[in-house]
Structure 1
Amino acid sequence: MAILHLGYRQGHKSVIKVSRSKIMALSHVSTLPTCHNYFKKLQDFEYIKYTPSYHPGYNSEVELKIKREA
């Protein structure tokens, strides 16, 4: 829900700029490994594509993978 909240605030529908600190604050996650595990699980289930940024001046990106039925 935190990812969707950030996407709504940014006006984006599929690619959302995220920072771990914002995600952690919005989702009440208190440790970095837990946050990392959430991103990994969402990526394993193919709900998102997470592209981390290792540069402190740039946010990471989350791409929502919306499955549409034919």
Structure 2
Amino acid sequence: MGVVGAWETRDRRWRVEVGGVGAIAWYRLIGPDGDARNLPSLSALSAALGAAGLDLAELREAHGVDTAA
């Protein structure tokens, strides 16, 4: 399945995409340089954001998400 939702920082430098199948979710963190990290859990996402100096609370829903499978 493709992306089902996304969040980004206000300046749009950082983006988190969420996808999954059934109860299995995945997270993709995309940084300002365009590099993407695939993360297996919300706790791994939170840790990766923290290492970048960000917090989940800083993200807002991104509009125009391509949810095509």
TM class, shorter-length:
under 0.3
- Greater share of helix: 1
Whose strand fraction is larger, Structure 1's or Structure 2's? 2
- Bigger relative contact order, structure 1 or 2 (CA pairs below 8 A, ≥6 apart): 2
- TM-score normalised according to structure 1 size: 0.27
Highest CA radius of gyration, 1 or 2?
Answer: 1
- Scaled by the length of structure 2, what TM-score is found? 0.27
